[in-house]
Amino acid sequence: MAFVKKHYLIYCTINKINEKMYVGQHATDNKNDGYMGSGALLFKAIKKYGKENFETFILNECSSFEEMNELEKKWVDLEWCSDQRNYNLREGGNDGRMTQVNCKGQPKGTIPWNKGMKTGPQTQETIEKRRNSLIKRGPFKRNTDFFKSEEYKMRQSENMKRVWAERKLAGGASLRG
64, 13 contact by CB (below 8 A): no
pLDDT band at 132 (very low <50, low <70, confident <90, very high): confident
The C-alpha atoms of residue 72 and residue 95 are separated, in whole angstroms, by 9
CA atoms within 13 A on the CB side of 71: 19
Kindly report the pTM of this predicted structure: 0.53
Average the pLDDT over 114-133 and give the result: 80
- Domain annotation for the chain: domains and CATH numbers: 1-117 (3.40.1440.10)
More reliable by pLDDT, 2 or 169: 169
Cβ-Cβ contacts under 8 Å for 29 (sequence gap 6 or more):
5, 6, 7
Residues 56, 62, 66, 70, CA torsion sign: negative
Q: What is the DSSP letter of 82?
A: T
Q: Where does the pLDDT of residue 111 fall: very low under 50, low under 70, confident under 90, or very high at 90 and above?
A: low
Digit-coded pLDDT (tens) for 44-69? 999 999 999 999 988 888 888 888 88
User: Within 13 Å, how many C-alpha atoms sit on residue 136's CB side?
Assistant: 6
Work out whether strand 54-62 and strand 21-28 pair parallel, antiparallel, or are unpaired. unpaired
The confidence score (pLDDT) of residue 177 equals: 47
Return the ∠ at Cα 74 (arms to 73 and 79), rounded to 5°. 90
Q: How far is CA 69 from CA 24, 46, 62, 121, 162, in A?
A: 10, 25, 9, 51, 58
